[in-house]
Amino acid sequence: MAPEPEVTILKNSDVDLILVSDYFVGIPFPERASKLYRYWEGGLPLEVLCYTKKEFDTKKKRIGLVKDALKEGIVLI
């Protein structure tokens, strides 16, 4: 089993969450995350990026946030 990554929380830290689901098909990108913020009870600010499976597969091949998250992030489920 791989060791857990070290987590450093800074004063200006937030939570970056990427959700991948075909539930988002047909929902305009800006509206997807707004439906989820009402469920956030964490103590840090939240930034949510919501992608369909197809969008995520495209994004993970490009240089950017999604590719970085796959290397450095923590998979929850």
Structural domains in the chain (count): 1
User: Is 54 contained in some domain?
Assistant: yes
CA atoms within 13 A on the CB side of 45: 6
What pLDDT is stored for residue 58 in this prediction? 95
Strand 46-51 to strand 15-20: parallel, antiparallel, or no bridges (unpaired)?
parallel
pLDDT digits (tens, 9 = 90+) for 15-30: 889 999 999 999 999 8
* Residue 77 pLDDT grade (very low, low, confident, very high; cuts 50, 70, 90): confident
Q: Are 9 and 44 in contact (CB under 8 A)?
A: yes
User: Is 27 contained in some domain?
Assistant: yes
SS (HEC) of the chain: CCCCCCCCCCCCCCEEEEEECHHHCCCCHHHHHHCCHHHCCCCCCEEEEEECHHHHHHHCCCCCHHHHHHHHCCCCC
pLDDT digits (tens, 9 = 90+) for 12-70: 778 889 999 999 999 999 899 987 888 888 777 888 999 999 999 999 999 998 998 88
Domain interval for residue 61: 15-72
What pLDDT is stored for residue 63 in this prediction? 92
